[in-house]
A and B are shown apart, each in its own frame.
Chain A
Amino acid sequence: MRMEEGHSSTSPVSIHDLTVAYHRKPVLWDVDLDIPEGKLIAVVGPNGAGKSTLIKAVMDLVPKASGKVMIYGKPFRKQRKLVAYVPQRESVDWDFPIDALGVVAMGRYGSIGWCKPLRKQDAQIAMDALDRVGMADYARRQISQLSGGQQQRVFLARALAQDSSIYFMDEPFASVDAATEKAIVNVLAELRSTGKTVIVVHHDLQTVREYFDHVILLNMRVVAHGPVDEVFTDENLKKTYGGRLTLLSEAVDRLARH
């Protein structure tokens, strides 16, 4: 397949002219990005800027109005095995009859194959993943009996069990305790040291410099992206957070009314 001009086929995630709309109201407008390999990348922007939508669109979870996304030069549906996902904690009902190990084992389903039972090595991988986030002692605990931070770590362990090269995490740091924050940071460092690419939707501007290499500043469109040192400037932040773009948002509102 011929690559679009200016995009590389070795980028883990390259996004071409991506536009996403909910009920005809655009939430992402013309996003064009090449994400560098082996980095920790924060996606930062105000509420409703389309941060979650961006990673969901990459994983085909929301329909694209236009544009396309390539994972190492191929469409996502051919590269599923390379992608691991940590959804927002609130996206599921934690009062579900399953224990922590059962949830983490779900990360193995893709490689086990459908309708086949869990193999011994899968249970072991799931257990190891729980151990890596400091949750091994809670493996048999019913998930509703875990604290919010522990639940978040279970989700993280599930993604680790997927054993992929690209990790998408949707607000993993949202309202977690100190122990969980530390566990997540450790996992991020571990992933970086093994050359994985991690894209994290992040809401806490204070910690961006400390935790991440790259940053994508997003507010419906990409305001700036690149290494944190160069891009994470006051000026760019002002552009990202400084009110909505009057012209663009007006156009969007008009579109939605039609």
Chain B
Amino acid sequence: MIVSHSISDASMALPSLEQIVRVFSLEDYNTRVVVLGVMALGTASGLIGTFLLLRKRALTADALSHATLPGIAAAFMVMVAFGSDGKALAGLLLGAFVFGCIGVLGILGIRKTTRLKDDAAIGIVLSVLFGLGLCLLRMATELPTGSAAGLSGFIFGKASSMVASDALIMAGVALGIVIVTIALHKEWTLLCFDEKFGAVQGCPTLLLDVVLMAMVAIVTVIALQSVGLVLAVAMLIIPAACARYWTTKIITMLMAAALIGCLSGWLGAVASALVPRMPTGPVIVLICGFWFIVSFVFGPNNGLFIRQLTRIRLQRRISLQHILRAMWEVCEDTQSSSFTIEDIVYVRSWSKRAVEKLLRRCAKQHVATREPNSMWRLTEKGSAEASRVVRNHRLWEVYLITYADIAPSHVDRDADMIEHVLGRNLVSQLEELLKATDIPKSPHAVGTST
């Protein structure tokens, strides 16, 4: 007998290569349905989530998803009261949608009429409606007719209960959201960036806001079955938050978020099909979380890695400029072209080892060379670079003394901090201001910085 590893499977065996191929090639009907559904969901939530994030409404979406629970339970009870078994998915989702919207209106109402801020309003609506939902759910399970057993699946999601028509609905909704996003991306961008400016031009900001939140509600509702209402907000926020680290353009951000959402859905569904007893929704969210860590560390737009790299580069440039200036000033002081390591150590508060290390770097970059008698000397290139650095430093010092009223004995340190970021533009402004052409004399004794 062939063991079938679909999502609803529950055996504990590790997946074989054959099974992996089976799952990835979507041979199983069940897997196919779930993968299609969650990929559609990931795409839609990535797109809408981008605007939600830029509108700074991420937590509102969390309240919205929790507020769907009483809607599901109430819809079930209404349907049972009208004689059905209460399992019609469309009816349950309609209830969820309606209550999700009520949740958002509740937040807006609290914000408008009380002195409470957004976070408190969200906390109140989220907890109260979720509590109401749990109570209604309990009442629903105790109804004599109808079977409410499946309802709790909406809380944490139960992807294995999806059938082909569900996946098709999700795909249809996703397609609709792609179209709406293409049509409204210009207006939503304006709404998120500068609402007031849009309003002056006659942009219907309130309507746009309502449509955006309605889209959020729709995405949340189609996420209920697979990811569940507790985690639905993750699908909206995380792909968009990841995309932020990869781009500074909103169009690229939209595409990146859709792609990350879609990929996470696919990988999550496949992983949970391969590893038995892994719930699909949480696995998808974990994979989103994995992408977030990758983006946060390696993303080119403000990622941890790139930030650290820029800092290290700046640090290296600054220390090179320091040693160049030290060498130049020592030569200026002694009126000779060569110097020893001890000379540098004497005028600077650095250790001998640090100076040696810096000099080795200078040698590597051909700005200084070592002479046979353990003396050092600036090369032509190094001399030119050093005189530029010294000049900037002293121009800044003179500026500080002349215009900022800082005592000459204090300017060295202040100039140290700023000289490395002086651009050509600023330097020429300084020159003009101070009417300087050559290198000014140091306003303080060189070598007293201890």
- Residues of A at the B interface (CB closer than 8 Å) are 56, 59-61, 77, 80, 83, 85, 87, 91-93, 96-99, 102-103, 106, 109-110, 114-115, 117-118, 142, 158, 162
Max chain B C-beta neighbours (<10 A), residue from A91, A99, A114: A114
Whether A106 and B200, one on each chain, are in contact in the complex, defined by CB atoms closer than 8 angstroms, is: no
B230 within 8 A of A: no
What residues of chain A lie closer than 8 Å to B247, measured between beta carbons? 97
Whether B194 and A106, one on each chain, are in contact in the complex, defined by CB atoms closer than 8 angstroms, is: yes
Whether A87 and B196, one on each chain, are in contact in the complex, defined by CB atoms closer than 8 angstroms, is: yes
Closest to B54 in A: A96
Closest beta carbon of chain B to A81's beta carbon, Å: 8
Binds A, one of B144-152, B184-192, B262-270: B184-192
* Residues of B180-219 whose CB lies within 8 A of A: 183-184, 186-187, 189-190, 192-194, 196-204
Closest beta carbon of chain A to B202's beta carbon, Å: 5
Closest beta carbon of chain B to A182's beta carbon, Å: 14
Whether B248 and A60, one on each chain, are in contact in the complex, defined by CB atoms closer than 8 angstroms, is: no
B253 within 8 A of A: yes
B391 within 8 A of A: no
Whether A115 and B184, one on each chain, are in contact in the complex, defined by CB atoms closer than 8 angstroms, is: yes
What residues of chain A lie closer than 8 Å to B357, measured between beta carbons? none
Contact A87 to B197, CB < 8 A, known contacts A77-B202, A96-B192, A115-B184 = yes
Whether A99 and B248, one on each chain, are in contact in the complex, defined by CB atoms closer than 8 angstroms, is: yes
Closest beta carbon of chain A to B239's beta carbon, Å: 14
What residues of chain A lie closer than 8 Å to B199, measured between beta carbons? 59-61
B394 within 8 A of A: no
Whether A103 and B193, one on each chain, are in contact in the complex, defined by CB atoms closer than 8 angstroms, is: yes
Contact of B194 among A91, A142, A162 (CB under 8 A): A91
Q: How far is the CA of A117 from the CA of B187 in the complex (A)?
A: 10
Whether A97 and B201, one on each chain, are in contact in the complex, defined by CB atoms closer than 8 angstroms, is: no
Whether B202 and A110, one on each chain, are in contact in the complex, defined by CB atoms closer than 8 angstroms, is: yes
Closest to A83 in B: B200
Count of B residues near A, CB < 8 Å? 26
Given contacts A80-B201, A85-B196, A114-B186, 9 further A-B contacts (CB under 8 A): A85-B200, A87-B194, A87-B196, A97-B244, A98-B193, A106-B194, A106-B198, A110-B203, A115-B186
Q: How far is the CA of A118 from the CA of B190 in the complex (A)?
A: 13
B435 within 8 A of A: no
Q: How far is the CA of A118 from the CA of B193 in the complex (A)?
A: 17
What residues of chain B lie closer than 8 Å to A114, measured between beta carbons? 186-187, 203-204
Contact of A118 among B54, B186, B187 (CB under 8 A): B186
Q: How far is the CA of A12 from the CA of B250 in the complex (A)?
A: 37
Max chain A C-beta neighbours (<10 A), residue from B186, B190, B199: B186
B364 within 8 A of A: no
What residues of chain B lie closer than 8 Å to A91, measured between beta carbons? 194, 196
What residues of chain A lie closer than 8 Å to B193, measured between beta carbons? 92-93, 96, 98, 103, 106
Whether A98 and B189, one on each chain, are in contact in the complex, defined by CB atoms closer than 8 angstroms, is: yes
Q: How far is the CA of A115 from the CA of B183 in the complex (A)?
A: 5
Whether A109 and B200, one on each chain, are in contact in the complex, defined by CB atoms closer than 8 angstroms, is: no
B249 within 8 A of A: yes
Whether B200 and A98, one on each chain, are in contact in the complex, defined by CB atoms closer than 8 angstroms, is: no
Q: How far is the CA of A114 from the CA of B207 in the complex (A)?
A: 13
Q: How far is the CA of A61 from the CA of B183 in the complex (A)?
A: 26
Q: How far is the CA of A142 from the CA of B252 in the complex (A)?
A: 13
Whether B249 and A85, one on each chain, are in contact in the complex, defined by CB atoms closer than 8 angstroms, is: no
Contact of A98 among B202, B244, B250 (CB under 8 A): B250
* Residues of B100-115 whose CB lies within 8 A of A: none
Max chain A C-beta neighbours (<10 A), residue from B187, B194, B201, B248: B201
Contact A61 to B249, CB < 8 A, known contacts A97-B244, A110-B202 = no
What residues of chain A lie closer than 8 Å to B187, measured between beta carbons? 109, 114-115
What residues of chain A lie closer than 8 Å to B194, measured between beta carbons? 87, 91-92, 106
Q: How far is the CA of A117 from the CA of B183 in the complex (A)?
A: 9
Q: How far is the CA of A149 from the CA of B201 in the complex (A)?
A: 24
What residues of chain B lie closer than 8 Å to A98, measured between beta carbons? 189, 193, 248-250
What residues of chain B lie closer than 8 Å to A162, measured between beta carbons? 201
Closest to A106 in B: B190
What residues of chain B lie closer than 8 Å to A117, measured between beta carbons? 186
What residues of chain B lie closer than 8 Å to A77, measured between beta carbons? 202
Closest to A114 in B: B187
Q: How far is the CA of A109 from the CA of B197 in the complex (A)?
A: 10
A-B contact pairs, 7 of them (CB 8 A): A92-B193, A93-B193, A96-B54, A96-B192, A97-B247, A99-B249, A102-B189
What residues of chain A lie closer than 8 Å to B252, measured between beta carbons? 97
What residues of chain A lie closer than 8 Å to B248, measured between beta carbons? 97-99, 142
What residues of chain B lie closer than 8 Å to A118, measured between beta carbons? 186
Q: How far is the CA of A162 from the CA of B247 in the complex (A)?
A: 28
Whether B196 and A80, one on each chain, are in contact in the complex, defined by CB atoms closer than 8 angstroms, is: no
